[in-house]
Structure 1
Amino acid sequence: MNRRQLLGAGAALVTTSAWGQTSNMGLPEAAIMESAATQTPIRPTSGPDYTPVVTLNGWTLPYRMNGNVKEFHLVAEPVERELAEGTTAFLWGYNGQSTGPTIEAVEGDRVRIFVTNKLPEHTTVHWHGIILPSGMDGVGGLSHPGIPPGKTYVYEFDLTKSGTFMYHPHADEMVQMAMGMMGLFIVHPRDPSFMPVDRDFAFLMNAFDIAPGTYIPRIMTMTDFNLWTWNSRIFPDIDPLVVNKGDRVRVRVGNLTMTNHPIHMHGYDFEVTCTDGGWVPPGARWPEVTIDIPVGGMRAYEFDAMHEGDWAIHCHKSHHTMNAMGHDVPTFIGANKSELTRMIRQQQPEYMPMGTAGMADMAMMEMPLPDNTVPMMTGWGPHGPIEMGGMFSVVKVREGIGADDYSDPGWYENPPGTQAYEWTGELPEITSNDSPKTQLSPRPEGNAKG
């Protein structure tokens, strides 16, 4: 990989010195990313071909070749991550971001990963799901000593299987993972004809407890998280998954939160084709529209993008599609707050009563918030407020999207006759479904109706 290819991954990608000046005997460059935008993936220029992963609101770590070994450089360090516009968190991560950069390699590669520790305490890196020697497994005190602050350790192993994996610390784990230390590790098949796709998206689910008006996560939280994120990003600032109509699409999802997440995608059914344990044989797959991702697990599913439109993708736990959730808020549905409102407005004229008819009005009202706090529900679509937050994005399927084009195509315009409408007392002309795309399930023998 040359410097031009490296910088082509995104204008925000920065290296510590000139790429060509690095000695093979020294450390590889510690590239960093300062942007929270999804970076266009870098296609392989040598070795087996593969479709590179598109890390949602993230990027892929560049490497150098040293003989037959791919060398990467991870830097564990304090970072600032923009969770959404106007909301920043002070986290720990890798190479300038949380989550850290995606590591991509190919089945059969030997990798050498330099890990430099710029944290105030020791750390390690565990390569989750990857088969490797015990001493490279990254469990502090068991596999090897913790990496002291200011030191660099080397992990080196062969990638014996392809699949969807991740990396994270196994040192002071409660603190370091709660502070955002994690990343994706994708190993592509050596045979390009095995499980090929046109678009390959990936993200990690993580969660934070950050009090309104503050910047640092509360690391002692066990269940009451108030910010549910994909790659340390929350809606409406999670980028869309942009797809060309007709593409074969893979979505890889990892879960490093404290609870399971049922990920539901609208408009399609799909098959789960891979876990962090390996590829799922075709005979073991079944159709789904929601897949539950367990704690510490990864799932990859695939579909053919035949239906144009803007299709929601989200966690189906309702609190996980909200931002800055408060868990001690009373329910006022059905309450008469008119007299209370009158009295409060004598002292505070801007007071707005809320919650008596539900919480949807929160998505439409502009209310003062503490600094560095995103509204609980925010984000607008073509027809009004979307009333979502947290773990939510949109799969945007369009015809004519270029192979390397992941830019937002804007909102989908529904063709005439394909959008829900208000009934005004007249029914449209009765039609029947004679579409050749209709799938009729076969009836058991003996139950057929004439």
Structure 2
Amino acid sequence: MLSRRQLLSAGALLAGATAWTKTSAMGLPDAAVMESPDMQPPIFPTSGPDYQPVVTLNGWTLPHRMNNGVKEFHLVAEAVERELAPGSTAYLWGYNGQSPGPTIEAVEGDRVRIFVTNKLPEHTTVHWHGMILPSGMDGVTGLTQPGIPPGKTFVYEFDLVKSGTFMYHPHADEMVQMAMGMMGFFVIHPKDPKFMRVDRDFVFLLNAFDIEPGSYVPRIMEMTDFNLWAWNSRIFPGISHLPVAKNDRVRVRVGNLTMTNHPIHMHGYDFEVTCTDGGWVRPEARWPEVSIDIPVGAMRAYEFDAKYEGDWAIHCHKSHHTMNAMGHDVPTLIGVDNSKVTDKIRRVQPDYMAMGDRGMADMGEMEMPLPDNTVPMMTGWGQFGPIEMGGMFSVVKVREGLSANDYADPGWYKHPEGTVAYEWTGDVPAPTKSGDAKTMAPAAHGGHGKQG
């Protein structure tokens, strides 16, 4: 009996290679595998220059080994099962057990050797997006190298000549392989440990799928009409929160490998754009934002000082990108009385629920029947009720007293008395205490990230 992953790997040729061992690898570095959808702790350097490692939302960092001064990594291109959110799984292609693949971290000046083993049913390559390297290591099928055949391992080796944030993805049957989830982050830390140092450093990739409700495999021919908008192949409420200690200097790195741009907006703060995939932005050239548009095939990094406690939303500001499993042919029924037709339909379908005549907020509260392997369009709950979001949405949780490198979810924010919006009942509000006014100012006016 073949597993679903083995079936997706196209049969007996690859089915016997689902578990990689030192013996079968014949001296290759171990190919670490991660199947958990949870955000994994950072990996701190044990030698060489010091740096603050990144944390990948719902992801992990690929371990390496040292071999005569060269950092060696092992990527395995393979079919994977990815939990998009609890109750929904997709059959994708990725690396080392997940889509996106693991984040690769190294330091400016390092020489790296990356072994890429192909367990897919067709050839592949890896393109190191935005990096300066020899042409023959650039990973474009037919132009700079032959494709890596199924069952074979190729080696990429080059020096890391500049620090910054980069990506990796195939340049082989790209429409299929990227639509199936093949991508990952490559972070190169500065050689100088003090340069652009932050206390917390988050990374995630923007990706999108067209997966029909009840099904598992993306429609690879889709160009624009996607119904699932994801961060690291996760959709809200399955996306990790971003726990931050008060007064931390925080960096958020976002890469976009979808078919459209995404304006990423974070509540409660303004921030500075400090890096693009072309390099670090000089202090005098940085600009303040509360939303940063991430173009297709690009990344942006921004930084802020975590001065203001709270639960602050972070999301794509295209409203359809914060929904799950959207049906784009649904008519607008606002103001329509459909009670009579509802009664008729319930005679043959007792579970039928008419929705949309007052808007779509009811979707966040109702538990209507859905196809298997499908999550609601608007889902997720907070301390005050349904959040009514999906897709590209998460929460930056700024808390007093979080220890360094503690990324556990601190729970919902306990708002100081008098700082939550409330219903007016006609009474004259009590005078605002000076302490309350000071507490409320950040939420009303935003913060000011320092230049660094």
Normalising by structure 2, we get a TM-score of 0.91
**Deviation string, structure 1 residues 378-436 (Cα, Å, up to 9, x no partner):** 11000000000000000001111111210101111111011100001123245598859
TM-superposition CA deviations, 1:134-187 (whole Å, max 9, x none): 000001100111111111100000000000100000000000000000000000
Say whether residues 1:371 and 2:387 are aligned partners.
no
Match of 1:244 in 2: 245
1:422 is aligned with what amino acid? Answer: E
Task: Give the letter aligned to residue 389 of structure 1.
Answer: G
Gap change, CA 1:342 and 1:420, over 3 Å in 2? same
The runs of 5 or more residues in structure 2 that have no matched partner are: 1-17, 446-452
- Matched residue, 2:44: 43
- Cα 1:395–1:438 shift into 2, 3 Å: closer
- Residues 178-189 of structure 1 mapped to structure 2, 5 A cutoff: 178-189=179-190
Residue in structure 2 matched with residue 132 of structure 1 by the alignment: 133
1:400 and 2:408 matched: no
Give the match's secondary structure for 2:158.
strand
Give the aligned residue type for 1:115.
V
Q: Residue 64 in 1 paired to residue 57 in 2? A: no
**Residue 9 of structure 1: aligned partner:** none
> What percentage of residue pairs aligned between the two structures are identical?
78
Counterpart residue number, 2:347: 346
Contact 1:100 1:182 in 2 (8 A): yes
Residue correspondence of structure 1 range 275-314 to structure 2 within 5 A: 275-314=276-315
C-alpha distance after superposition, 1:231-280 (max 9, x if no partner): 00000010100001110000000000000000000011000000100000
Structure 1 segments of 4 or more deviating over 6 A? Answer: 436-439
Equivalent residues of 1:88, 1:215 under 8 A apart: yes
Query: Does the C-alpha gap of structure 1 residues 322 and 75 become closer, same or farther in structure 2, counting only changes over 3 Å?
Result: same
CA deviation map 1:168-214 (0-9, x unaligned): 00000000000000000000000011000000000000000000111
Q: Pick closer, same or farther for the CA change 1:266–1:50 going to 2, 3 Å.
A: same
Structure 2 CA distance for aligned equivalents of residues 143 and 427 of structure 1: 74
Q: Which amino acid aligns with 2:193?
A: P
Sort the Cα spacing of 1:57 and 1:436 in 2 relative to 1 into closer, same or farther, 3 A: closer
Q: Which amino acid aligns with 1:30?
A: A
Q: Distance in 1 between matches of 2:76 and 2:331?
A: 44
Q: Secondary structure at the match of 1:311?
A: strand
SS of corresponding position for 1:97: coil
**Amino acid of the structure 2 residue aligned with 1:147:** I
Q: 3-state DSSP class of the match of 2:303?
A: strand
**Native 8 Å contact 1:15 1:31 kept in 2:** no
Residue matched to 1:6 = none
The two structures, once aligned, show a CA RMSD in angstroms of: 1.9
Correspondence 1:187-202 to 2 at 5 A = 187-202=188-203
> 2-side partners of 1:367 and 1:261: how far apart?
30
Cα shift readout 1:3-44 (whole Å, capped 9, x = no counterpart): xxxxxxxxxxx98447xx999x82100000010000001111
How many residue pairs get matched? Answer: 424
How many Å separate the matches in 2 of 1:60 and 1:40? Answer: 9
How far 1:286 moved relative to its partner? 1.2
Secondary structure in 2 matching 1:302: strand
* 1:250–1:300 CA contact under 8 A, matched in 2: yes
Aligned to 1:320: 321
Question: Is residue 2:144 matched to residue 1:143?
Answer: yes
Distance in 1 of aligned mates of 2:439 and 2:31: 54
SS of 1:177's equivalent? Answer: helix
Secondary structure at the counterpart of residue 341 of structure 2: helix
Q: Does 1:412 align with 2:434?
A: no
1:286-310 Cα shifts (integer Å, max 9, x gaps) = 1110000000000000000010010
8 Å Cα contact 1:62/1:72 also seen in 2: yes
Q: In 1, distance between residues paired with 2:441 and 2:337?
A: 50
The 8 Å contact of residues 419 and 440 in structure 2, kept in 1 or not, is answered as no
* Partner amino acid, structure 2, of 1:185: F
Aligned counterparts of 2:136 and 2:299: Cα–Cα separation in 1: 24
Q: Which moved more, 1:240-249 or 1:419-428?
A: 419-428
Q: Which residue of 2 aligns with 1:26?
A: 27
Q: Take 1:387 and 1:437, find their aligned partners in 2: how far apart are those partners?
A: 25
CA distance in 1, matches of 2:216, 2:348: 31
**Conserved in 2, the CA contact under 8 Å of 1:210 and 1:218?**
yes
Name the SS for the 1:76 alignment partner. Answer: strand
Paired AA for residue 257 in structure 1: T
**Partner SS state of residue 33, structure 1:** coil
Q: What secondary structure sits across from 1:32 in the alignment?
A: coil
Map of 2:6 onto structure 1: none
Q: Give the match for residue 204 of structure 1.
A: 205
2:170 counterpart residue number: 169
Structure 2: distance between partners of 1:108 and 1:392: 36
> What is the distance in 1 between the residues matched to 2:350 and 2:96?
48
Distance in structure 2 (CA, Å) of the matches to 1:368 and 1:258: 31
> What secondary structure, in the 3-state scheme, does the structure 1 residue paired with 2:139 have?
coil
Distance 1:332 1:344 in 2: 16
In the TM superposition, residue 107 of structure 1 has moved relative to its aligned partner by 0.2
Give the counterpart letter for 2:423 in structure 1. Answer: E
CA distance in 1 between counterparts of 2:172 and 2:441 reads 54
Q: Distance in 2 between matches of 1:345 and 1:138?
A: 57
Other structure's SS at 2:342 match: helix
Is this contact kept in 2: 1:132–1:157, CA < 8 A? yes
User: CA–CA distance in 2 between the matches of 1:180 and 1:143?
Assistant: 23
For 2:124, what is the secondary structure of its paired residue? coil
Tell me the TM-score normalized by structure 1: 0.91
Answer yes or no: is 1:78 the counterpart of 2:79.
yes
Distance 2:218 2:439 in 1: 53
CA distance in 2, matches of 1:15, 1:45: 27
Query: Does residue 106 in structure 1 map to residue 138 in structure 2?
Result: no
Q: Is the aligned partner of 1:90 residue 2:82? A: no
Match of 2:388 in 1: 387
What's the offset of the Cα at 1:56? 0.4
Distance of 2:97 and 2:146 partners within structure 1: 25
Name the aligned partner's letter for residue 83 of structure 1: L
Q: In structure 2, the residue corresponding to 1:411 is in which secondary structure?
A: coil
- Residues in 2 aligned to 1:105 and 1:335: alpha-carbon distance in whole angstroms: 58
- Find the aligned partners of 1:179 and 1:351 in 2 and give their Cα distance: 34
State the distance in 2 between where 1:284 and 1:358 align.
Answer: 44
